[in-house]
Chains A and B, each alone.
Chain A
């Protein structure tokens, strides 16, 4: 602890005022994750803070240098675990870009549905937790009931709930079952009612507004200088969304708007996320409506596991099966950057391949890691309780922060 304190501890004896130091975290129930902040406090006002991160660092970039491409997907799950399907899809699309694979339209639409469901799940967590931190625990349970429905949809599609490993390079492992479609339709019917009630409870609530407006704000200029992205940047008034700027996975086919805020404070972030959930619902409906027929995976035998019957009866399929399972498929040399709009912003994969079976270097642009460094600046001069609220409204996910 001494090493952390060194950087922010001036000689307190010489100063007229005596500051107190408070360790917020690493394990504190109010921080919703493993974050440590050493706060220099003047009464209840934060004078300075020193964040320490890396408590759950798992060396993903190093791990990825030894793993074949299809085995890296489970690693990406564990970054932003609130919306892991977006990470999975982002990784698949990065590899497809490197290989030059064109996936069928149906795959792209199915991916859009999954990614938007994941975005809703991510925003539910963030917004309901803002409710908890402002003293309204009811909305948390309302929201989590709906999140459970999303997790059941994941379960129906890929068998897992949290760390989904959903989809494959080139498509999906199987088509959505009728049961999965039923669950999606049920969610589309039930969720708008709950979301409306949720908004009714908070967004024009006097107590909630007094608590959140003007709390933890950041200007658009500072937010851009700190490379904010996603809802946090849009709350500050910049309409940057990767889905519109660099459309991937057929996002250009859908009609949706990008909500923007003005002050970049907790209330604006809350409202931007709420509106994004409505937009995501609309995108899912459009995708279901326009859903094209066709195969649920691309024609990439080197990366997509063949059906079991073919493995038993066809020599070529057996070879591919063996090579994929043992991770012996070589990919061409190249260098790509692909980014998707994750739950928290621009989630980028910078991939360098030297032609081997594993990436030569994989750099992950994690939005949380980049914008969390603005946290000390945002909370400087605010109350301790505002700092807690600011952190949950920024939706800092420890897994993504520490990689």
Chain B
């Protein structure tokens, strides 16, 4: 994305939400903006409606757990199909209380994606119409994609994995 297009996106966000942008940079070929967690959904809705940006296609959203930071990052990717601009928005939620407003009011597609993120990371989407587990069994007690749940059963003793694997 060219520098002019980046500045335009930043200007559109700053127009209404001054100070919401914590960080912005090009990561490989993708323009990424880190937004304060209180404002991110409003910012996405603003970018959806603003005539200069019109990011009206939700590519995907997902969570990422950073155990060292005690945070869960939420990543949203939006796309403007007319100008073919893609934008990644990120925000960081504390692991003790990962609550974020829902995006389903803007994009219907966010419904299952948010349920999936709740299912695997335990992120609570405030205002979601049907926030239940989607891929895992309903009586599961943990949020399995968090890093504290290793893939293999750690009580196994028949396998020495010290040399290989982390």
What is the interface of chain A, defined by CB distance below 8 A to chain B?
Answer: 3, 7, 53-54, 57, 59, 61-63, 65-66, 97-98, 222, 224-227, 238, 240, 245-246, 326-328, 334-337, 339, 346, 348, 350, 352, 356-358, 360-361, 363, 365, 369-370, 372-374, 402-403
Q: With the chains together, A83 CA to B152 CA distance in Å?
A: 30
CB of B45 within 8 Å of the partner chain: no
Interface centre among A3, A240, A335 (most CB of B within 10 A): A335
Please, how many angstroms separate the alpha-carbon atoms of A97 and B130 in the complex? 37
A371 to chain B, nearest CB (A): 8
Is B95's beta carbon under 8 Å from chain A?
no
Interface of A is mostly: mixed
Set of chain B residues within 8 Å of A374, measured between Cβ atoms: 108
| Complex Cα–Cα for A339 and B144 (A) | 26
| CB-defined contacts of B71 to chain A, threshold 8 Å | none
Besides A57-B135, A98-B28, A327-B164, 12 more A-B contacts (Cβ < 8 Å) are: A57-B136, A66-B150, A66-B151, A66-B152, A225-B107, A226-B109, A227-B58, A240-B57, A326-B164, A328-B164, A335-B32, A365-B59
Per the 8 Å Cβ criterion, residues 92-146 of B in contact with A are: 107-109, 111-113, 116, 120, 130, 134-138, 144-145
- Evaluate whether A3 and B138 lie within 8 angstroms (CB atoms) in the complex, with A335-B27, A337-B88 already known: yes
Q: How far is the CB of A49 from chain B (nearest CB, A)?
A: 13
Name 18 interchain pairs, CB-CB below 8 A, sorted by A.
Answer: A53-B134, A57-B135, A62-B145, A224-B81, A226-B108, A226-B109, A227-B58, A227-B107, A240-B57, A335-B32, A336-B30, A337-B77, A356-B166, A361-B62, A361-B65, A370-B113, A373-B112, A402-B135
- Mask: chain B, 22-59; 1 = CB below 8 Å from A; 0 = not: 00000110101000000000000000000000001111
Measured between alpha carbons, how far is A361 from B81 in the docked complex, in Å?
A: 27
A378 CB, nearest partner CB in chain B, Å: 12
Q: How many residues of B contact A (CB 8 A)?
A: 40
- Please list the 6 inter-chain residue pairs (A to B) with the smallest Cβ-Cβ separation, ordered nearest first: A227-B109, A54-B135, A363-B62, A365-B60, A57-B135, A373-B112
Whether A245 and B84, one on each chain, are in contact in the complex, defined by CB atoms closer than 8 angstroms, is yes
Asked whether, in the complex, the Cβ of A361 is within 8 Å of the Cβ of B64, the reply is yes
Q: B166: which A residues are within 8 A, CB to CB?
A: 356-358
- B111's closest neighbor in chain A, by CB? A373
Chain B hits for A7, CB < 8 A: 130
Question: What chain A residues lie within 8 Å of B32 (beta carbons)?
Answer: 335
Q: Decide: A63 and B164 in contact? CB cutoff 8 A.
A: no
Shortest C-beta distance, A167 to chain B (Å), equals 22
Select from chain B the residue with minimum beta-carbon distance to A360.
B64
Q: Is the CB of A65 within 8 A of B109?
A: no
Q: Which residues of A sit under 8 angstroms from B30, Cβ to Cβ?
A: 335-337
